[in-house]
Structure 1
């Protein structure tokens, strides 16, 4: 029985990583077991730090050995990410230069940047640069370097060298995990380097992320919670937990 359970959990994890999420009812049918059995399997995988459970299913936790690709991120939590991006866009203020991180939520934010005045956008994301390149008042600077196929973003010493020559008014940054104890983390050291450099050269910093990122941690730490003036997330993060983050410095917006 233990071997069967282990094999079943391996299949559940593999499917979650392939699809971006799994549902209890579907997995129960596919594996010919009771929904309660799948829920127990998800509980085991969550305890091992491999999955995070949701109502009716689970999604994979990103770590040193696994990271979702951009195609998966585009299909997950879309409504929440649109609200987060719209709220974050309201924080731009008088900024004339902004850094927009890689990822789908930052890409959504980039499309909402004000187009009625000149604005310079620095990004490592090919997708974001392509999406806003034809906006009349936006000057788009794409960081050079090696392109990561998983996220279509540039990384490496060239990207960091370009950033070191800038002074940026506001950085919009994401992460694979954010924790009050461990700070902001991402699986890949070269990605962490770019994020860290972008934060270092920016006067203001805003974190954007779905509530599923909170309490999670990955391999490479690149910032502390207190480095940010604001955190923008969805109402899946409880008000009590949001308050705990505010005690570390940033304002927390739940939308």
Structure 2
């Protein structure tokens, strides 16, 4: 009786080895998927908190600290986080501000969508405050009111975008003009704003986090933003989604100071839900 040929033309004994390779391949794929999911979660936690520690990440993710360190090393290579002693920061954490031109160049399509949606928050308001900054600049360009509207601002670029509209009256606040933003700030600007009553204030931010609230790099700018919050009946934050989880130098408000946030759809979902739990409307565009 002739011997039967090995299945699939293989050498005897190789099929079982091949099956072992397949099983091992599935296991390696599963490990890879878990690592990718874990690293994605690390990026989300870093952006939500502004800073994370290896110890906390290991506890939350239920992995060894050495595993977290390897994940952080890989994420830093990918440009998604910046490692610091004992933990990590978001890669794009903002410590310094760019000039008005460089900021306007970032995420222009998202900022334009935010602006178009933000102007719907005006409703029947007669007076609005427009902050300095790139996103507020997009809001200024999107303004096309059907009724008379007074725009109060410390920003020269906002004035240039709005002064020609027949239904818009512009009030330019005085003060020391900063060359980076071409906007006034400081005590004089804040004092003038404090004497006004604003229906809706549109504010920008350099960072928003659950722990530190709303922050920007400059104390004199923060003072103007605080004055706008105090003067306004409603406060709308207009910010692109990259600002979530970032912290800058000077705090100018808390999340509870806001009535609404208009931001991009890429904003961290968990943070958005926690903000909504504080009775702040969050509009994703």
Alignment TM class, shorter chain as reference:
0.7 to 0.9
Contact 2:244 2:268 in 1 (8 A): no
Partner secondary structure for residue 236 of structure 1: coil
Alignment coverage as a number of residue pairs: 212
Q: 1:190 to 1:73 in 2, by over 3 A?
A: same
Q: Quote the residue 1:147 is aligned against.
A: 177
In terms of fraction of residues, the more helix-rich structure is 2
Q: Cα distance, 1:128 vs. partner?
A: 0.7
Alignment-derived partner of residue 40 in structure 1: 77
Offset, 1:241 = 2.5
Q: 2:93 aligns with which of 61, 74, 77?
A: 61
Larger radius of gyration: 2
- Mapped partners of 2:88, 2:133: distance in 1: 21
For 1:125, the equivalent position in structure 2 comes to 155
| TM-score using structure 1 length | 0.77
Counterpart Cα distance in 2 of 1:38 and 1:247: 31
**DSSP-derived class of the 1:99 partner:** strand
In structure 2, the gaps of 5 or more residues are 1-72
1:190 maps to 2:220: yes
- 2:195 & 2:83 partners in 1: Cα distance? 43
Alpha-carbon distance in 1 for matches of 2:78, 2:200: 43
Q: Which residue is equivalent to 2:128?
A: 98
1:20 maps to none
Relative to structure 1, the CA distance from residue 43 to residue 213 in structure 2 (aligned partners, 3 Å threshold; closer, same or farther) is closer
CA shift digits 1:104-130 (9 cap, x unpaired):
111111122233211000011100111
- RMSD over aligned Cα atoms: 2.1
Structure 1, unaligned stretches of length 5 or more? 1-35, 54-59
**Which of 203, 211, 214 does residue 244 from structure 2 map onto?**
214
CA contact (8 A) 1:145 1:159 kept: yes
1:254 and 1:43, CA in 2 relative to 1: closer, same or farther beyond 3 A?
A: closer
Q: How far apart, CA to CA, are the structure 1 residues paired with 2:81 and 2:202?
A: 35
